[in-house]
Structure 1
Amino acid sequence: MMNIYFPDEEITDNDLYFICYMIERVARKLHQKNKYVVNTIGRDALKHLISVANVLHCENPLQVEDDWIEEYHLQEGDYDITDVDRELAEIIPTPLEMGKVYKRLIIDTLQLGEDYVDGILRVYNNELCNVIDNYNCSAFYEPSYVIARAYQNGGF
């Protein structure tokens, strides 16, 4: 995928990672699912955000969260991904860790002719995300090839 502002500059895996990380941060802050954040921001704005990710990653993530919430009119919800059974889930993955899980899933399942933004929209709108984001099970902890295979097969 090429940067929309600098056509000679390619979007990197790290740019995708940053966007996935910020999606996770914003969703957690608002008590929403990642799908809500992705769909509310939309394709065109995601193309903009991934094209400026190499600059945004130098900013304070708290400020980037607030900017996204304000600019894309993201609303508070009632879904708390961190509300888990502590006997089943001793450790809750960080937004950085989940950003990496989603980045890998997007890259591992990227389809012919699809760019990173299309991959973001496709993956975050898949039902498998409900399993990955259930921290009472260990789906997020599986190796990336196992998660990608589960995605391709329609479940674990």
Structure 2
Amino acid sequence: MRNVFFKEEFISENDLYFVCSMIERIARMIKQPNRYVVNKLGYRALAEKLSLANVLHAENPLAVADDWIDCYGLQSGSHDVTAVNPDYCSSVPTELQMGKVYMRLILMTMDSGEDYAHAILRVYNNPICEIIDDYNCSAYYEPSPFIARSYYAGSFN
């Protein structure tokens, strides 16, 4: 994918990782599902954020998150992915860990003609994400190829 501001530059996998991690961070801050954040931003904003990621990663992530929340009018909800049953989950994965899970899923399922922004919208809107984001089960720490196969199958069974 080409940078929308500097057409000669390309978006890197690290830029994708940054955006996926920010989506996770923001969703947790406002207690909304990841797909809510992705859909409120939309294609154009995602393409812009991917294009700016090489600069934004040096900023304070909390300030970046607050900026995105304000800029896109993201509303608080009651979907708390960190509220887990301690009998099933001893620790919640970090935003960075989940950013890597989603980055890998996006990279492993991208079509040849698809760009990162379209792939983000496609993956985060897939019902399999509800399972990945349920930290009471083991889906999020399964090997990346298994998660990708489960994505195509529509289930972890």
Mapped partners of 1:110, 1:3: distance in 2:
18
Kindly provide the CA deviation profile for residues 84-126 of structure 1, in whole angstroms up to 9, marking residues without a partner as x.
Answer: 1001001110000000000000000001200000100000000
What is aligned with 2:116?
Answer: 116
Kindly provide the CA deviation profile for residues 28-81 of structure 1, in whole angstroms up to 9, marking residues without a partner as x.
Answer: 000000000000011111111100000000000010010000000000000000
What is aligned with 2:98?
Answer: 98
When the two structures are aligned, how many residues end up with a matched partner? 156
- Unaligned stretches of 5+ residues in structure 1: none
Mapped partners of 1:42, 1:88: distance in 2:
34
TM-score, reference length from structure 1 = 0.99
Across the aligned residues of Structure 1 and Structure 2, the Cα RMSD in angstroms comes to: 0.5
Identity %: 57
Residue 153 of structure 1: how far off its partner (Å): 1.1
SS at match of 1:42: helix
What is aligned with 1:49?
Answer: 49
Mapped partners of 2:118, 2:35: distance in 1:
13
**Post-superposition, which runs of at least 4 consecutive aligned residues in structure 1 deviate over 6 A?**
none
What is aligned with 2:26?
Answer: 26
Kindly provide the CA deviation profile for residues 4-45 of structure 1, in whole angstroms up to 9, marking residues without a partner as x.
Answer: 111111100000000000000000000000000000011111
What is aligned with 1:9?
Answer: 9
